[in-house]
């Protein structure tokens, strides 16, 4: 009977922590979707995972002696990490795009195909 209770309680807490962490992740996703770089994203992600795990351990700690406690903890960590990995990829792509944009503004392109070497407008230039 206690094993069933532990299974129920650990599952309930697991789902609540996922829901709360999902709200934070959604707020970050909205920022990234608007092309806003999140400062210290890696550190904030690590803090979010640690806070979620701390909450799970605190709320479900009474069931530590049951295997389900550890199974749900591992599941929680994997699920949050997977969600954050997709955001991290989007963040890296955004940073890459921002870096390229700034680079192009600071370094003029001088490749012969990027400028019009033809002094006669309206005619085809040959390189």
pLDDT one-digit tens code per residue, 19-76: 999 999 999 999 999 989 899 999 999 999 999 999 999 999 888 889 999 999 999 9
pLDDT tens, residue by residue, 104-114: 888 776 655 55
Distance in angstroms (rounded) separating the CA atoms of residues 40 and 33: 17
Q: What is the pTM of this model?
A: 0.71
| pLDDT tens-place string over residues 86-124 | 999 999 999 898 888 888 888 776 655 555 555 565 555
Three-state SS for the chain is CHHHHHHHHHHHHHHHHHHHHHHHHHHHHHHHHCCCCCCCHHHHHHHHHHHHHHHHHHHHHHHCCCHHHHHHHHHHHHHHHHHHHHHHHHHHHHHHHHHHHHHHHHCCCCCCCCCCCCCCCCCCCCC
The C-alpha atoms of residue 56 and residue 15 are separated, in whole angstroms, by 10
| Domain range summary for the chain, segments of one domain joined by + | 2-106
């Amino acid at each position: 009977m206690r094993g069933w209770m532990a299974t129920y309680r650990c599952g309930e807490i697991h789902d609540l922590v996922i829901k709360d962490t999902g709200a934070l992740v959604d707020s970050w996703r909205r920022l990234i979707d608007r092309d806003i770089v999140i400062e210290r994203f890696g550190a904030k992600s690590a803090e979010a995972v640690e806070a979620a795990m701390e909450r799970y351990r605190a709320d479900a700690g009474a069931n530590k002696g049951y295997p389900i406690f550890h199974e749900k903890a591992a599941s929680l960590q994997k699920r949050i990490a997977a969600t954050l990995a997709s955001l991290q990829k989007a963040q890296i792509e955004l940073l890459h795009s921002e870096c390229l944009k700034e680079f192009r503004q600071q370094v003029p392109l001088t490749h012969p195909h990027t400028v019009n070497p033809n002094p006669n407008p309206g005619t085809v230039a040959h390189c």
